[in-house]
């Protein structure tokens, strides 16, 4: 297995009014290229902090964060911008679509500045939105809007897709549809996916599950076989 990220003795300490909050406490992890990784843990356990450190939005207080064997914790602002632009895509619980642009136009926005964009019409079919491509966001369901957001994040063909609670605003049926889409994209393009969630059901589709609590990794589970998203049992 080729590794994509390696965290070595990573700490994140927030200082507020003389108090220290150890949001990440000595994290050591290896994430493999092309895998679906699910980070599970209760509120405040450090999941978003971990995403921010992997994506270079925040830097660690101590430790190394290796991406393809380069320490991103040592990058300057310009190198970080290029790292994010060339390699990373993001989706969030809220979809952040542009309301006066159509589905297709929203997705095209994501390809902007990419040297190697994906074919938008193929992407529309994979995310199941071909019949809705000329609609505006207000004409879509929550699950459909999230699939537009996924396609937009993927349009530039990122190596890694970061997802913070991608199904947090969705019911079971639409949530599963969104996960099916993510799984299909992982298979089709080999995109590494790092999904943060409170929902333990989602762990069954991960190759690697990282369970966090109080800023530490409590358990790492490796699945030889992953479940199909449509067969997940929702908690």
Q: Which stretch binds ligand ATP (CB under 6 A): 37-45, 61-69, 75-83, 217-225?
A: 37-45
Q: Does 16 bind ligand ATP (CB under 6 A)?
A: yes
Question: Residue 32 is inside which H or E element, if any?
Answer: strand 19-32
Interhelix angle 103-111/142-154, rounded to 10 degrees, is: 30
Residue among 182, 177, 234, 173 nearest 206 (CA) = 182
- Taking the mean position of all CA atoms in its chain, how far away is CA 120? 20
Partner from Mg ion, ligand ATP, none binding residue 21, C-beta < 5-8 Å depending on class: ligand ATP
Residue among 130, 158, 164 nearest 144 (CA) = 130
Q: Does 48 bind Mg ion (CB under 5 A)?
A: yes
**Least spacing, CB of residue 41 vs Mg ion, in Å:** 9
Residues 6+ apart with CB under 8 A from 124: 103, 104, 107, 130, 133, 151
Q: Does 49 bind ligand ATP (CB under 6 A)?
A: yes
Residues 6+ apart with CB under 8 A from 34: 2, 186, 190, 191, 192
Q: Which stretch binds ligand ATP (CB under 6 A): 45-53, 116-124, 138-146, 221-229?
A: 45-53
Partner from Mg ion, ligand ATP, none binding residue 181, C-beta < 5-8 Å depending on class: none
**Least spacing, CB of residue 212 vs ligand ATP, in Å:** 7
Residue with Cβ nearer ligand ATP (90 or 156) = 90
Q: Does 213 bind Mg ion (CB under 5 A)?
A: no
Q: Does 41 bind ligand ATP (CB under 6 A)?
A: yes
**Least spacing, CB of residue 111 vs ligand ATP, in Å:** 29
Dist. CA 192–CA 28, nearest whole Å = 19
SS3 of residue 1 by DSSP: coil
The first and second tokens of residue 202, run together, are 């989602």
3-state helix, strand, coil in the chain (%, to 5): 35, 30, 35
Q: Does 234 bind ligand ATP (CB under 6 A)?
A: no
Residue with Cβ nearer ligand ATP (14 or 134) = 14
**Least spacing, CB of residue 47 vs ligand ATP, in Å:** 4
Q: Is the dihedral of CA 128, 130, 136, 140 positive or negative?
A: negative
Q: Does 211 bind ligand ATP (CB under 6 A)?
A: no
Q: Does 44 bind ligand ATP (CB under 6 A)?
A: yes
Out of 9, 14, 98, 172, name the contact with ligand ATP by CB under 6 A.
14
Binding site for ligand ATP (CB under 6 A): 14, 16, 21, 23, 41, 43-49, 198
């Amino acid at each position: 297995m080729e590794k994509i990220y390696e965290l070595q003795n990573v700490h994140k300490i927030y200082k507020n009014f003389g108090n220290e909050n150890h949001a990440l406490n000595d994290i050591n992890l290896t994430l493999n290229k092309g895998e679906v990784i699910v980070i599970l843990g209760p509120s405040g356990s450090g999941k978003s902090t971990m995403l921010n450190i992997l994506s270079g939005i925040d830097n660690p207080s101590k430790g190394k964060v290796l991406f393809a064997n380069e320490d991103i914790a040592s990058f300057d602002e310009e190198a970080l911008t290029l790292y994010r632009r060339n390699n990373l895509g993001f989706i969030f619980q809220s979809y952040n679509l542009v309301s006066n642009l159509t589905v297709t136009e929203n997705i095209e926005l994501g390809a902007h500045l990419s040297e190697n964009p994906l074919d938008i019409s193929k992407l529309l079919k994979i995310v199941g939105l071909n019949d809705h491509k000329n609609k505006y966001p207000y004409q879509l369901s929550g699950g459909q809007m999230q699939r537009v957001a996924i396609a937009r994040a993927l349009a530039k063909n990122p190596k890694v897709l970061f997802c913070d609670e991608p199904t947090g605003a969705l019911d079971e049926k639409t949530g599963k549809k969104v996960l099916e889409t993510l799984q299909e994209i992982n298979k089709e393009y080999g995109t590494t996916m790092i999904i943060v969630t409170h929902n333990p059901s989602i762990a069954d589709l991960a190759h690697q599950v990282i369970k966090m609590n109080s800023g530490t990794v409590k358990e790492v589970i490796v699945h030889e076989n992953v479940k199909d998203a449509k067969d997940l049992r929702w908690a």
